[in-house]
Amino acid sequence: MTVQGRIAPLAEDSTRRLELLHAIERKLLWLSAWMIHHANHVRPNRDGLKVGGHQASSASVISIMTALYFEILRPQDRLAVKPHAGPVFHAINYLFGRQARETLGTLRQFGGIQPYPSRVKDGPEVDFSTGSVGLGVALTSFGSLVQDYVRLHGLGREEVPAGRHVAIVGDAELDEGNIYEALLEGWKHDVRNVWWVIDYNRQSLDSVVQDRLFGRIEGLFRDMGWNVVILKYGRRLEAAFAREGGEALRRWIDDCPNSLYSALTFQGGAAWRAALLAELGREPGARAIIDPLSDEELGALMTNLGGQDTATLLEAFRAQDAAGDQPTCFIAYTIKGMGLPFAGHKDNHAGLMTKEQMATFKAEMRIRDGHEWDRFEGLDIPEAELRAFIEGVPFATPIAPEGRRLQAAAVPVPGASFPQPKVAPGRKLSTQAAFGEVLAELGRGQGEAAAIAKRIVTTSPDVTVSTNLGPWVNRRGIFDRHLKNDVFRDAKLASAQRWGMSPEGQHIELGIAEQNLFLLLSALGLAHDLYGARLLPVGTVYDPFVNRGLDALIYACYQDARFMLVSTPSGLTLAPEGGQHQSVNTPLIGMAQDRLASFEPAFADELAILMRWGFEHMQKPEGSAVWLRLSTRGLEQPQRRLDPAAVVAGAHWMVPPAPGTRIALAYQGAVAPEAIAAFEALREDEPGAGLLAITSPDRLHAGWLAARRKARAGFGGPSWVEELLAPLAPDAALVTVLDGHPAAHAWLGAVRGQRVMPLGVDRFGQGGDIPDLYREYGLDTDAILDACAQAMLG
């Protein structure tokens, strides 16, 4: 098992142990290849589309995954498996008894196991989803940081020790820029206990990768403080190199271009012999190595690479474990498609064995018809011995009674609404400023807020102060694994910010890369499942730059990570900053993104309700992440009593319409003053008109779609938006306005067949002040009134 948390040494019968591991490799190669073949050639195909799969990519990583899962990993370790090794991952869980036999035949089938490991759809054995190339790799680094945060704050489960975060990386994933952004951020935070094992098969989707790429990879990792272990050759090749003439053979392989090496691997032993003798035929020592070998033996020797030599892998993993917790990159040389008929071929990425090739492969594997899914079919090891071995490996032990998906109690959220900032009559307040004040008040940790304040952790990509997180940070401090004093404070230099860092801090400061923000929010938002600690993450970012991190945001939601995203400032309303800092499409992103409830309140009282609801919603099994789109524009605050349920549902009547009225005006967010002014003028002609405050087109739209689905099934009542619009005349007009794309409101006309005049922004912004920009883009009072007149005229 383990010795003081370290990997135990090999047992005295290590030779037999290696034989058992080789048997498992053989079984994983068969199961992963058959799983894909079954999905493509055995299961009925009703639509004629290629089902696909990655037999070659799975084969290249089998030795790495065997060494890790069946010898090295401990129950508390967390993993990200390269996407195209999904079938191997499923086969491993089948051998562990964590995957039912019946499910193996459902790969890429509706309701079946996923092509790429998915936390939500494949269940608790998946630690990190890895379908989005590169992001799962980077997430392991942030997961390790969050594990440290949980441990240093004393929030985790005492019986669950800290684990290592391991990513099994496809070499083509290293083309993704987010990898290097994460590396730099990890260096800043002195991340520990991370292993990235690169399946360096030197082939991508389209071609063979550049020669000596590993040198660049090695240098980048070393520059970031990582240890780098290169596993190029297996034990048979190393033994050959040690003989007379071996150095010449090593030089030949080292100098061999990747494309030639791949081609020779595909061609086989005879091609290897011809190529070697052409270069080394006059080297007596080299001939002494080559000549005695049959073509098959020579091919096996020349393809004995470190990443597919189990003994070499185990030796390297154990040595690094004994060396400490320094983050480590293993560059493990492999052959794509190893053991399959198209090994090494540059087009094998999406290649599938033909039925004839599978029949030959099946015979080589000694698999009888009707026994394709048997756990121990075709192996020389006695079933009882192999079964006992698998049951006894460290990773077979559950991390906790509930399994790999830990449980953490919800944090109680006080009241029906958080305390609102006190606003003197005539004082203006923006939603961004209100957010900062509400969070700072929670940061006092007084009374009922003590429990929730302890679990909130904030983060921001170098915009902490400009998104109003400063007061919270001053109260709760910045997190760092090491104590670092605030130099300005120690020198008694005036500053509004107290930037002392310590393990007790509750704000994680990031560099400006938005991908890292969403990856960290993803890791923080999974802490309850991964580390047994309920955290309430809050991340702030400028609204237009949500787009820069959108891939990672979607990935976080796909994993069902729970966090509160606060994007501010937003829209044209950030007037002097110009078009690149003015967002247009973000309301539509909020509507379209699954597992993300999106809101845009106009006033502080709405925001206080939504923040309180958001912290509670994030913790519910049926909940999700929450997005608040805020503004820096100060507005006079109304004195009123709100129905929290209506605010959360997406809209409430600021002025209810008279029954049967012909027109209503609806606004969202910072354009409230213009809408209210236009409404006052409108009421002079239409006294029964209504004024609707939209806090979330996302929630309104989702509720409407859900109600329509229920209605088609013959049950359920009207949605909230249907109830809101019911008092209006059937042919009434709606004039809507927001500082964002008008399509966010245009759908409202479909609810009851009423006419909609949606106002908003559908092109890039520019520098200016609010009056000029609102006039230019049709958001000012005159534009709203013109739309009302047009709507009334039909």
Encode pLDDT of 646-691 as tens digits: 999 999 999 999 999 999 999 999 999 999 999 999 999 999 999 9
Q: How far apart are CA 79 and CA 679, in angstroms?
A: 56
Structure tokens at 202: 């030197």
Q: How far apart are CA 149 and CA 662, in angstroms?
A: 57
Amino acid found at 700? L
Q: How far apart are CA 679 and CA 665, in angstroms?
A: 7
- Please state whether the peptide bond connecting residue 742 to the residue before it is cis, i.e. omega within 30 degrees of 0: no
Exposure on the CB side of residue 620, measured as CA atoms within 13 A = 11
pLDDT at residue 496 in the model: 64
pLDDT at residue 7 in the model: 54
Name 491's Cβ contacts closer than 8 Å, sequence gap at least 6: none
CA distances from 246 to 92, 312, 393 (A): 37, 19, 37
Which one is predicted more confidently, 579 or 459? 459
| Dihedral-angle region of residue 567 (phi above 0 means left; psi in -120 to 50 means alpha; beta otherwise) | beta
pLDDT at residue 494 in the model: 55
Q: Place 416 in a pLDDT band, splitting at 50, 70 and 90.
A: confident
What does the pLDDT average to over 81-98? 96
Residue 267 has a CB neighbour count (10 Å cut-off) of 15
Pairing of strands 651-655, 690-694: antiparallel
H-only helix segments in 74-157 = 86-95, 101-104, 119-122, 135-152
Q: For the ranges 183-197, 247-261, 480-494, 638-652, which has the lowest average pLDDT?
A: 480-494
Which one is predicted more confidently, 83 or 578? 83
Name 481's Cβ contacts closer than 8 Å, sequence gap at least 6: 148, 152, 189, 190, 503
Q: How far apart are CA 177 and CA 182, in angstroms?
A: 9
Pairing of strands 478-479, 596-599: unpaired
Nearest to 192, CA basis, from 255, 154, 140: 140
Q: Place 175 in a pLDDT band, splitting at 50, 70 and 90.
A: confident
Q: How far apart are CA 540 and CA 548, in angstroms?
A: 14
Name 723's Cβ contacts closer than 8 Å, sequence gap at least 6: none
pLDDT at residue 5 in the model: 45
The model's pLDDT over 230-277, given as tens digits with 9 standing for 90+, comes to 999 999 999 999 999 999 999 999 888 888 888 999 999 999 999 999
Which one is predicted more confidently, 202 or 634? 634
Q: How far apart are CA 62 and CA 344, in angstroms?
A: 15
Q: How far apart are CA 113 and CA 636, in angstroms?
A: 54
The model's pLDDT over 536-561, given as tens digits with 9 standing for 90+, comes to 999 999 999 999 999 999 999 999 99
The model's pLDDT over 211-222, given as tens digits with 9 standing for 90+, comes to 566 677 888 899
pLDDT at residue 425 in the model: 80
pLDDT at residue 554 in the model: 97
∠ CA(644), CA(431), CA(454), 5° rounding? 75
Please provide the average confidence, as pLDDT, over all residues in the chain: 92
Amino acid found at 165? H
Under DSSP, is residue 756 helix (H, G, I), strand (E, B) or coil?
A: strand
The model's pLDDT over 614-626, given as tens digits with 9 standing for 90+, comes to 999 999 999 999 9
Kindly provide the residue ranges of all beta strands, DSSP E only, lying in 680-773, ordered along the sequence. Answer: 690-694, 733-738, 755-759
The model's pLDDT over 16-70, given as tens digits with 9 standing for 90+, comes to 999 999 999 999 999 999 999 999 999 999 999 999 999 999 999 999 999 999 9
Q: How far apart are CA 444 and CA 442, in angstroms?
A: 5
What does the pLDDT average to over 762-767? 95
Supply the DSSP symbol for 448. T
pLDDT at residue 489 in the model: 63
The enclosing H or E element of 56 equals helix 55-60
pLDDT at residue 205 in the model: 44
Name 36's Cβ contacts closer than 8 Å, sequence gap at least 6: 53, 54, 55, 58, 87, 107, 352
Nearest to 688, CA basis, from 727, 728, 657: 657
pLDDT at residue 488 in the model: 56
Which one is predicted more confidently, 414 or 532? 532
Structure tokens at 282: 């006059």
pLDDT at residue 12 in the model: 44
Q: How far apart are CA 773 and CA 749, in angstroms?
A: 27
Are 589 and 546 in contact by the 8 Å Cβ rule? The answer is yes
pLDDT above 80: residue 493: no
Supply the DSSP symbol for 305. B
Q: How far apart are CA 610 and CA 599, in angstroms?
A: 8
Residue 567 has a CB neighbour count (10 Å cut-off) of 25
The model's pLDDT over 347-363, given as tens digits with 9 standing for 90+, comes to 888 889 999 999 999 99
Name 476's Cβ contacts closer than 8 Å, sequence gap at least 6: 443, 453, 456, 458, 505, 506, 507
Name 535's Cβ contacts closer than 8 Å, sequence gap at least 6: 146, 149, 150, 155, 455, 456, 457, 524, 525, 527, 528
pLDDT at residue 1 in the model: 27
Beta bridge partners of 3: 6
Nearest to 54, CA basis, from 79, 86, 95, 92: 86
The percentage of residues in the chain with a pLDDT greater than 90, rounded to a whole number, is 83
pLDDT at residue 145 in the model: 98
Name 195's Cβ contacts closer than 8 Å, sequence gap at least 6: 164, 165, 166, 167, 320, 327, 328, 329, 330
Are 266 and 338 in contact by the 8 Å Cβ rule? The answer is no
Name 5's Cβ contacts closer than 8 Å, sequence gap at least 6: 74, 161, 162
Q: How far apart are CA 366 and CA 317, in angstroms?
A: 32
Nearest to 694, CA basis, from 730, 732, 725, 728: 725
What does the pLDDT average to over 72-83? 96
Q: How far apart are CA 242 and CA 225, in angstroms?
A: 32
pLDDT at residue 206 in the model: 43
The enclosing H or E element of 439 equals helix 431-443
Are 608 and 419 in contact by the 8 Å Cβ rule? The answer is yes
Nearest to 168, CA basis, from 393, 321, 309, 332: 332
